[in-house]
Structure 1
Amino acid sequence: MSNVYYKRYEGNDPEVLSLLAKELFEHIVEHEDVELKKEIPIKVHFGEKGNITHMPPQSYNGLIDALKDREIDTSYIETNVLYRGSRTTKDNHVALAKDHGFTQIPIIIADGNMGEDVYEVEINKEYFDKVKLGKTYADYDQILVTAHFKGHAMAGFGGALKQLAMGFASRSGKLAQHAKLKPSVKGKKCTSCGVCIDKCDVDAIHIEDHAIISSDKCIGCAGCIAVCPTGAISNDWNGENFREKITEYAYGASLNKSHIYINFLTNVTKECDCIGQHLDIIAKDVGVFVSMDPVAIDAACLDILQKNEDEALFDKGRTTLEHAKRIGFGSLDYKLIEL
């Protein structure tokens, strides 16, 4: 059984949330004898351009202070997104993060300029033998994984597990989770410019009436998606067993690591912070949670949210938790401790 600690707070003032997160971090370090490393990045989501319900940078000040008080080096760490947007490339991603106020500490984009920097972790599970993660994550044995717990159209909910899965994955790893198929080209949007050909390292693309991707040669790196100037290249977002694949990627991202997990159960929206527009709040704020177990902390957040709001809310995300149990990852048995 895993411990999940939380502080109740029915509000969303980032300064208050910052203090609560710091208190919870210090509590779990002391009460679970967590050995802290000399360098601990903070995994965050900077929010897509136009989104205002992601966790604001002030929410992390307490955690940053807690690490600096211990003379622990820290930084923000993230990976680029798979889709075309303001966070597709490193430079644009960092610029957006700073635009949103994430300027307190350095920013690391773990998978390089366009998601090409990869390291693999062997897991030998049902859907993946190996997972592909942002290369810089290999440099750290411990990361403070923070998540804004909210809804997600495909995953059901986004919390610690999705932060590990999508947030740690390289572009090719994100594609592997999302799709059974390789990228495809929308002929009417393709201008036959050849940029994708120059980007492809395995000569999987050629031009006929428009760009054609060879499914036999394509390795699913998704670099062509990032560089296409017209957005003609995309992937199948409705890939099979998406939620189970998230679980296995999260398992790989946490394997042999001593990550600490903090969930902010506030500003709960139906959709993800990747949506670059106004999102309505659909539930009352609950507070801040911390655990050493990503499965337990997500289960606790989902349980308390459903109890407070609607027993069916985000329920398809249960698939992710159930698959975790099947593969021996984390624990669905938890002790919820209010501080």
Structure 2
Amino acid sequence: MSKVYFIENHGSDYNQLGRDAVRLLKTIVSETNHKFEKEVPIKVHFGEKGNTTFIPPQCYDETINYLKEKGVAPSYIETNVLYRGSRTTTGKHIETAEDHGFTQIPIIIADGDIGTEFDEIEINKDYIKKCKIGKGYGKYKQFIVMSHFKGHAEAGFGGALKQLAMGFASRGGKLEQHSGISPVVKASKCISCGICVEKCNYDAITIPDTAVIDSDKCVGCAGCIAVCPQNAIRNTWGGSNFPEKLAEYAYGAAKDKDIIYIAFAHNITEDCDCTGSHMDLIAKNIGVLAGKDPVALDAACLDMLQRNESDKLFEKGRKTLAHAEKIGLGSTEYELVTINI
């Protein structure tokens, strides 16, 4: 049975949340005799431009300082998003991160300027055979994945598993989880400029009148979505088995990696931090949780939320947890270890 460590915190002092996080990190390091590599990236979410409830940078200060004291070189690591927003390309993504205060350490955008650089990680599961994981992740063996537990329209909730599945995936990997393998073109918006044709490395796009994507040639890298000046190329968001694909991509992201997971069950909103606007909180703050099993960690967060608020809240996410357990990523059974401060 996996251990999940917990510090209760109902307040809104972000500096204290950071101290709670590093205390949990130190506990795991001590109890598991964890040895750090020389470089350890920290996986975070910088928040979409306009979002006000993402976990702010001061929550990571203590963890950064602790790693530096241990002789570790930390960095932030992320991948570009699939939709058109303030984090679609590397330049804009880093600009958004810095505007939100994430300036303490270097930032790595792991899937290249427009999200098309990836390694294929073979997993051979029910829905995904090979995961498209941002190429920059391949350089590192260890990570600290620090997630914000909150809602998500399709997944039910976002936590450690979503940080792995979407946060490690390249744009094409995100597309594969959300829908079919190929984007679609809205002909009425296409101006036949040819930028998508120039950027496609697979000769999958032609322009007889307006852009047409050949699904047999398309590998789903989604680079065309990023470069289209008219926002005429998009994904359909209509794919099937999204929860299961999410779990399988999380499996691929964590494969052969040594990861410590920390979750902030704070600023709990109905939707995720990719929403570029203010969102109202829908639940009381819970605290900070951590462990080495992402399935157990997410299960503990969800169980606590439902006990405190409603047994129906974010229930949709149980499907992802069940599939993640089925494929061997972790266990929904856990021992909760409460640490008093």
- Give secondary structure in 1 for the equivalent of 2:250: helix
Q: How does 1:24-173 map to 2 (within 5 A)?
A: 24-173=24-173
The one-letter amino acid of 1:114's match is: I
Deviation at 1:35, TM superposition (A): 2.1
- Give secondary structure in 2 for the equivalent of 1:132: strand
Q: How does 1:1-339 map to 2 (within 5 A)?
A: 1-339=1-339
Q: CA RMSD in A?
A: 0.8
Deviation at 1:106, TM superposition (A): 0.5
2:220 and 2:256 map into 1 onto residues whose CA distance is 26
1:238 and 1:281 map into 2 onto residues whose CA distance is 28
Deviation at 1:323, TM superposition (A): 0.3
Post-superposition CA distance 1:303-323 (Å, at most 9, x none): 010010000000010000010
The one-letter amino acid of 1:41's match is: P
1:304 and 1:230 map into 2 onto residues whose CA distance is 44
Post-superposition CA distance 1:205-225 (Å, at most 9, x none): 111331111112211111110
Residues 48 and 87, structure 2, Cα contact 8 Å, conserved in 1: yes
The one-letter amino acid of 2:162's match is: K
Residues 181 and 235, structure 1, Cα contact 8 Å, conserved in 2: no
Residues 181 and 219, structure 2, Cα contact 8 Å, conserved in 1: no
1:184 and 1:310 map into 2 onto residues whose CA distance is 39
Post-superposition CA distance 1:231-265 (Å, at most 9, x none): 00001112100110010010011111110000000
Post-superposition CA distance 1:123-154 (Å, at most 9, x none): 11111111110001011111000000000000
Deviation at 1:181, TM superposition (A): 4.8
1:194 and 1:257 map into 2 onto residues whose CA distance is 40
Residues 181 and 236, structure 1, Cα contact 8 Å, conserved in 2: no
Post-superposition CA distance 1:93-116 (Å, at most 9, x none): 011100100000010001110112
Aligned length: 339
For structure 2, list consecutive stretches of 5 or more residues without a partner in the other structure: none
Task: Give 4+ residue runs of structure 1 displaced > 3 Å after superposition.
Answer: none
Residues 2 and 293, structure 1, Cα contact 8 Å, conserved in 2: yes
2:37 and 2:202 map into 1 onto residues whose CA distance is 39
Normalised by the length of structure 2, the TM-score is 0.98
1:247 and 1:35 map into 2 onto residues whose CA distance is 27
1:255 and 1:204 map into 2 onto residues whose CA distance is 31
1:180 and 1:326 map into 2 onto residues whose CA distance is 23
Deviation at 1:326, TM superposition (A): 1.5
2:115 and 2:181 map into 1 onto residues whose CA distance is 19
The one-letter amino acid of 1:159's match is: G
1:4 and 1:265 map into 2 onto residues whose CA distance is 13
2:70 and 2:141 map into 1 onto residues whose CA distance is 17
2:216 and 2:262 map into 1 onto residues whose CA distance is 42
Residues 37 and 142, structure 1, Cα contact 8 Å, conserved in 2: yes
Of all paired residues, the percent bearing the same amino acid is 59
Residues 90 and 112, structure 1, Cα contact 8 Å, conserved in 2: yes
Instruction: Single out whichever of 201-210 and 123-132 deviates more from structure 2.
Output: 201-210
